[in-house]
Amino acid sequence: MDVKIRLEKDGDGMYVATCPSLPGCISQGKTEKEASKNIREAIRLHLKCLAEDGIPLFESKKAKETLIEVKV
């Protein structure tokens, strides 16, 4: 399975890796290679947890999404 990741260098020089299709799935490393290795493991564990909890990977096409106004 191919999964798109995003790599960014932070202010401390660490590489932060995120997976846009899995919100909250984040890792880091000292190098791009290390960050990629770490996010690969984070994605594997994230998907495993979703499966164990019975949470589908893809949203139902029947679901309706809309925007609402919230005053704060």
Q: Whole-angstrom Cα distance, residue 58 to residue 22?
A: 11
Print burial letters for 55-71: b (CB count within 10 Å at least 16), e (below 16).
eeeeeeeeeeeeeeeee
What separation in angstroms does the CA of 55 have from each of 2, 9, 52, 68, 69?
A: 20, 31, 8, 25, 27
The pLDDT tens digits of the residues spanning 6-30 come to 999 999 999 999 999 999 999 999 9
For the chain, domains (ranges, CATH) are: 1-72 (3.30.160.250)
Q: Judge whether 17 and 29 are in contact, CB under 8 Å.
A: yes
The pLDDT tens digits of the residues spanning 26-42 come to 999 999 999 999 999 99
